[in-house]
Structure 1
Amino acid sequence: MKITDTHTHLYMKEFDEDINFVIQKAFHKGINRFLLPSIDSSIVPNILKLEKKYPNICFSMIGLHPNKVDPYSLEKELKNIKTWLYKHSFISIGEIGMDLLEKKFVYEQEYAFQTQIQWAKQKKIPIVIHCRKAFDQVFHILSKEKNSSLQGVFHCFSGTLEQAQKIIDFGIKLGIGGMITFKNNHISQFLHKISLNHLVLETDSPYLSPHPLRGKRNEPKNLRIILKKLSQIYSMSEEKISDIIYWNVEKLFFTPF
């Protein structure tokens, strides 16, 4: 079984003391690739350090997270990210998007999101989208940027069946994580109506630990808990599901557009 954690923050301080052991435990569970989303340009050296330490195992992304958008430093930060983008081969631009939980800097978030989508299309690499309380705004920008070069993942999908179908129509896959194991979560009620061809797996570690580990540090090995839940939802073996999702990841991140 070969499984990719398409969204894990292994470069964060929560993993400083035992990163080798964390990766070993994941390998033991069949998780053998880790895609590392960026937050802003300041942490890119840490991501690249991990990628260098674990070649062909850890893969770096570049991007400005919407919660890091500041109107006073936005242009400088985007310039830094664009410089990195042309200095190093990143697997994706992410995580980018919009977060309106506090409804701050809406215009600036839209500008940063659309700008980075355009860079991804120019570089022919996928995007990884963060969206919280902002489906309408994200959909509006995606509709303006939609073309054959627009591909990616809707990280930590938490919407409705109708929103899922709209995301798929944009050519974007759904990032499925620990949320589907939570009691009374609504996603597991309709997920079986969506083809596995549109899904990838993620942990968002160290965040969003699946049940029954909520409140503890999340890590990539916990993808097996999520895979087990998918097996129940789709009435299909974990091995078959992992094979399908493996090729989803291959085509999206490791095959030239």
Structure 2
Amino acid sequence: MNGMYLDVHTHYPISDPAVLVIENRLDGFDEATGSAHVSAGLHPRYIQAETLPDDFDKLRRYASRPEVLAIGECGLDKLTATDWNMQCRAFEWQIALAEELRKPLVIHCVKAFQECLEFLKRTSVPVIFHGVNNRITLVRPVIEAGYFLSFGKTLLHPNAAILETFRAVPLEQLFLETDDSPTDIREIYKTAAQLRNIPEKEIVLQLESNFGKVFKR
């Protein structure tokens, strides 16, 4: 089959010539990585007031490296104990960094779609909402804004709400990922094709095209 499988967001990078992987890094920005493609950001769950300025400075320096394709995951999370105002400040800084470097954003959004979308009005770089597992009423504004949505292992055992959302996302705005699961991305592609009732090759080629539009190098 022509085309390459893409894992747009993972914490379990693999070495496989058939799969292009973007490893997500949440810290260790001053350490070398063996990955050829990386996204890097300050996750709202782990930011701390006393280290945030220094952590952001490290991220800024690291993010300019050519292997860093995107800023994130970053965003807003209403289920974490992290102070809300600090989350907003860190998110705002990272949006500005993505704009400065002209690199796309990978968004972590938990029960904060309206707030994330409000912040993102200030950006012109491509945006990917990762780990989508929400009902369509929450996700539709993301689709209408022209942003990309990435689905993961929840597609392997979807409930009715996730299935409705997945089928509503245009292929031109779709990505797939493994996130924090050791699942083979090819299994997610295979299932995604079955759920959309289209050939797997069609998804492979479309997501490869999406990648070329988002991650311009």
TM-score if structure 1 supplies the norm length? 0.76
Distance 2:137 2:155 in 1: 17
What residue identity is the alignment partner of 1:223?
A: I
CA contact (8 A) 1:179 1:185 kept: no
**Equivalent position SS for 2:208:** helix
Partner of 2:163: 188
- The verdict on how the C-alpha distance between 1:135 and 1:103 changes in structure 2, with shifts beyond 3 A counting, is farther
Question: Percent identity, aligned pairs only?
Answer: 26
What residue identity is the alignment partner of 1:37?
A: N
Partner of 1:35: 22
Partner of 1:212: none
CA contact (8 A) 2:29 2:58 kept: no
- The verdict on how the C-alpha distance between 1:168 and 1:44 changes in structure 2, with shifts beyond 3 A counting, is farther
Partner of 1:50: 34
CA contact (8 A) 2:44 2:82 kept: no
Partner of 1:134: 112
> Given the alignment of the two structures, is residue 197 of structure 1 paired with residue 172 of structure 2, yes or no?
yes
Partner of 2:103: 125
- The verdict on how the C-alpha distance between 1:4 and 1:104 changes in structure 2, with shifts beyond 3 A counting, is same
Partner of 2:15: 23
Q: What are structure 2's unaligned runs of at least 5 residues?
A: none
> Given the alignment of the two structures, is residue 227 of structure 1 paired with residue 189 of structure 2, yes or no?
yes
Partner of 2:128: 153
- The verdict on how the C-alpha distance between 1:195 and 1:138 changes in structure 2, with shifts beyond 3 A counting, is same
CA contact (8 A) 1:62 1:95 kept: yes
What residue identity is the alignment partner of 1:8?
A: T
C-alpha displacement of 1:225: 1.8
What residue identity is the alignment partner of 1:50?
A: G
Distance 1:186 1:224 in 2: 23
Larger proportion of helix: 1
C-alpha displacement of 1:84: 2.1
**Equivalent position SS for 1:37:** strand
Distance 2:88 2:142 in 1: 18
Distance 1:103 1:163 in 2: 23
Partner of 1:105: 83
Partner of 1:215: none
Distance 2:113 2:41 in 1: 19
Match of 2:58 among 80, 84, 109: 80
Matches within 5 A, 1:143-182: 143=121, 145-146=122-123, 149-182=124-157
Distance 2:25 2:147 in 1: 19
CA contact (8 A) 2:7 2:177 kept: yes
Provide the alpha-carbon RMSD of the alignment: 2.0
Match of 2:206 among 244, 248, 251: 244
Equivalent residues, number: 214
Distance 2:197 2:87 in 1: 40
Distance 2:80 2:59 in 1: 25
- The verdict on how the C-alpha distance between 1:163 and 1:68 changes in structure 2, with shifts beyond 3 A counting, is same
Distance 1:102 1:191 in 2: 26
Partner of 1:7: 9
Q: What are structure 1's unaligned runs of at least 5 residues?
A: 12-21, 52-57, 208-217
